[in-house]
Amino acid sequence: MSDTLTIIGKLVQIGKTLRDVAELVKDVQTKNLVADLNLSLADLKIQVAELQEENLSLKKRVRTLQEQDDHREKLELRGDAYWFSQAPVGRPAGPYCTGCFDSSEKLILLKELSGHFVVFGKYECPACKVHYGKAGY
């Protein structure tokens, strides 16, 4: 993509040179053609910038989908929650909310309940507030 920008930069420079030449020639038709060329080059630069932005966005989306697919392959259901068979770097093995992952592909780590709250279950999802089973995962 940088080669494209280099070429466009050279074309803009040529357009400026042609504009200078047209000034010397004093030919109205040549001046109009050079002005049209400069407008077209400006439009081209804008389109290239938009394509670069779209390309970056699509690359990010592909990376996200690959990570989700990778997570899906490594997650396994144990009891009521998902656990990683091999935890990704920087992530605990589990437990993760099945509802959040199944509905929106979000890995939400369940919080272990303590004190009086254990009557609701062993874990709670901090996002959707669902409680998960008793001990024995």
Q: How confident is the model over 63-110, as pLDDT tens digits?
A: 888 877 777 788 999 988 999 988 888 889 999 999 999 998 889 999
Write out pLDDT tens, residues 32-45: 887 888 888 888 88
pLDDT at residue 117 in the model: 66
Residues 9 and 33 in one domain: yes
Residues 66 and 83 in one domain: no
**Average pLDDT over all residues of the chain:** 83
Split into its structural domains, the chain has a count of: 2
Tell me which of 16 and 1 has the higher pLDDT.
Answer: 16
The structure's pTM equals: 0.51
pLDDT at residue 25 in the model: 73
How many Å apart are CA 134 and CA 30, to the nearest integer? 83
Residues 88 and 112 in one domain: yes
Residues 7 and 48 in one domain: yes
Residues 23 and 64 in one domain: yes
SS (H, E, C) the chain: CHHHHHHHHHHHHHHHHHHHHHHHHCCHHHHHHHHHHHHHHHHHHHHHHHHHHHHHHHHHHHHHHHHHHHHHHHEEEECCEEEECCCCCCCCCCCECHHHHHHHCCCCECEECCHHHHHHCCEECCCCCCEECCCCC
Q: Which two tokens stand for residue 91?
A: 């992530």
Domain hosting 65: range is 2-71
Picking from 71, 99, 123, the residue at the C-terminal end of a domain is: 71
Q: Which residues contact 81 (CB under 8 A, 6 or more apart)?
A: 94, 95, 96, 97, 98, 110, 123, 132, 133, 137
- Would 137 be classed as within a structural domain? no
How many Å apart are CA 61 and CA 58, to the nearest integer? 5
- Of 20-29, 50-59, 83-92, minimum mean pLDDT range: 20-29
Residues 54 and 104 in one domain: no
- Indicate the pLDDT class of residue 136, thresholds 50, 70 and 90: very low
Residues 114 and 58 in one domain: no
pLDDT at residue 118 in the model: 67
